[in-house]
Amino acid sequence: MLTDPISDYLTRIRNGLNAGLTTVDIPCSKLKLEMSRILTEQGYISGYEKEPAEVGEKITVRLKYTDDRRPVISGLERVSRPGRRRYVDRTAVPRVQGGTGTAIVTTSHGVMTGHQARKEGIGGEVLAYIW
């Protein structure tokens, strides 16, 4: 039984990058689709598709590398976990790596980056840091 699907999502991406894969298949959920959308918009992955699987649906994530085959994503970190949720108010939305990374925050207005949350003046649960 999988207790933390967001950690599984991040780990599959991390393992795919370490193995030099071009695509990674991940079980589908609305939250994972939104996280994939943010990663695509921020330029961390090449893209993603929602496809049917043997059971349910899956997300196929196309990983992105530099010209010399180094991963664009140098780090992924799960912040809020099932055993320890991390919530921030609008004044404490974190910056990742001095603003060069991205914080993924789920708010009452949907899933967004930390930069967007600061701009709109809303807080929420910090899901992950990507840099």
Q: What is the 3-state secondary structure (H, E, C) of 34-63?
A: HHHHHHHHCCCEEEEEEEECCCCEEEEEEE
pLDDT > 60? residue 109 = yes
Cβ-in-10-Å burial (0-12, 13-18, 19+) of 105 comes to buried
For the chain, what is the mean pLDDT? 95
Domain segments of the chain as ranges: 5-63, 76-130
Distance CA 63, CA 78 (A): 19
**1 pLDDT tier (thresholds 50, 70, 90):** low
CATH number of 76-130: 3.30.1490.10
- Cβ atoms within 10 Å of 44's Cβ, excluding its own: 22
* pTM summary value: 0.93
Closest CA to 104 of 33, 47, 50: 33
CATH T-level topology, domain 5-63: Ribosomal Protein S8; Chain: A, domain 1 (3.30.1370)
Confidence of residue 73 (pLDDT cuts 50, 70, 90): very high
Greatest C-alpha distance within the chain = 44
